[in-house]
Amino acid sequence: MHLKTVQTPVAVVTGGSAGLGLCIAQVLAAKGYRVVIVGRDADRIEKACQAIASSLGGDSVDNVPLGKTADVTESSEVGELFRFVKTKFGRLDVLVNTVGTSDRGLLENLAQDRLHTLWQQNVVSSLLCSQYAIPMLETTGGVIVNIGSLASKVGARYIGGYAIVKHALAGMTSQMRLELKPRGIHVALVSPGPIRRADAGNRYTQQLNENLPDQAAKPGGGARLKGLSPERVAAAVVRCIQRRTPDVVMPGYLRPLIAIGHAFPRLGDWLLLKFTSSKSPD
């Protein structure tokens, strides 16, 4: 098999066919990266690549993203994905693990099967992609960015198993950063609050029952925060890559409040209740 090495930096974005992943892929392509968009739906990937190509204009033909279908919770498919990247480009500079699934419900009702699904999609997917990416990233001194959530930092009410798996992702990211730093690879966690979506407030209708208040259906389980635009979060991810920042919390003013809450748990509980009341943000 003939391998070639391109000079242009290469980025892999999982979950890049829609939403935040698509925005991240678009910003990276605009910054000059050759981007590989990964997802499970070939049609959505093709449309995403076409949309980015259109936004880049005719002068940026070399930076048109490529699409690759893969279930990133399956080791064999992840292996094939990174063999494709190595064969096509001969290098990898950035991996952004965007795949993830949120949840709603009370922990006392969390089913084992549901937790397993959340674990596979939020933690295992990032672990597998990172493991397969390491050899190429070591060669380029590259960067891994895992997309977390405010649920990576605190455990709010009514979000089912989401805080469990996002806390696990945060721990995995920290451990991986320490282990890979001597090999020249930087590993970062970006933890945004609720991101604006067209279906905000309606995504979890099927998961709600008489045990949950109406606020559980709202972004962040009723968090009193203005929704972040995906474009703003994508720009923060790219800055994180460029500056090799270890940990990003959005909005930034929450970082000291989170730190205070960890130092003083009773105060932290009060702050969480304040920020997840049933009132809507201004």
Phi, psi angles (nearest 5°) of residue 159: -105, 25
Paired with 144 in beta bridges are 95, 187
Nearest to 93 by CA among 134, 154, 52: 134
In the numeric block, which tokens belong to residue 103?
Answer: 């949840």
Confidence of residue 177 (pLDDT cuts 50, 70, 90): very high
User: 223 pLDDT exceeds 70?
Assistant: yes
Calculate mean pLDDT across residues 4-19.
90
Calculate mean pLDDT across residues 240-246.
98
Q: Which residues are within 8 A (CB) of 50 and not within 5 positions of it... i.e. 6 or more apart?
A: none
Calculate mean pLDDT across residues 120-143.
98
What are the tens digits of pLDDT across the range 54-68? 888 755 556 789 999
Domain 10-275 - what CATH class? alpha beta
One-letter amino acid for residue 18 of the chain: A
Model pTM score = 0.91
194 DSSP assignment: P
User: 4 pLDDT exceeds 90?
Assistant: no
What are the tens digits of pLDDT across the range 190-220? 999 999 866 555 556 666 666 777 777 776 6
Confidence of residue 6 (pLDDT cuts 50, 70, 90): confident
Confirm if 160 and 104 have CB atoms less than 8 A apart. yes
Q: How far is CA 145 from CA 21, 112, 207, 220, 224, in A?
A: 12, 28, 30, 22, 27
User: 39 pLDDT exceeds 70?
Assistant: yes
Q: What is the DSSP string of 222-274?
A: T--SPPBPHHHHHHHHHHHHHHT-SEEEESTTHHHHHHHHHHSHHHHHHHHHH
Give the pLDDT of residue 281. Answer: 44
Q: By 3-state DSSP, what share of the chain in percent is helix, strand and coil, each rounded to 5?
A: 55, 15, 35
Confidence of residue 31 (pLDDT cuts 50, 70, 90): very high
Confirm if 184 and 138 have CB atoms less than 8 A apart. yes
Confidence of residue 276 (pLDDT cuts 50, 70, 90): confident
Give the pLDDT of residue 226. Answer: 85
Calculate mean pLDDT across residues 134-161.
96
Mean pLDDT, rounded, of the chain: 90
For the chain, give every domain's residue range.
10-275
Higher pLDDT, 127 or 199: 127
User: 282 pLDDT exceeds 50?
Assistant: no
What percent of the chain lies above the pLDDT cut of 90?
77
Rounded distance between C-alpha atoms, residue 21 and residue 96, angstroms: 8
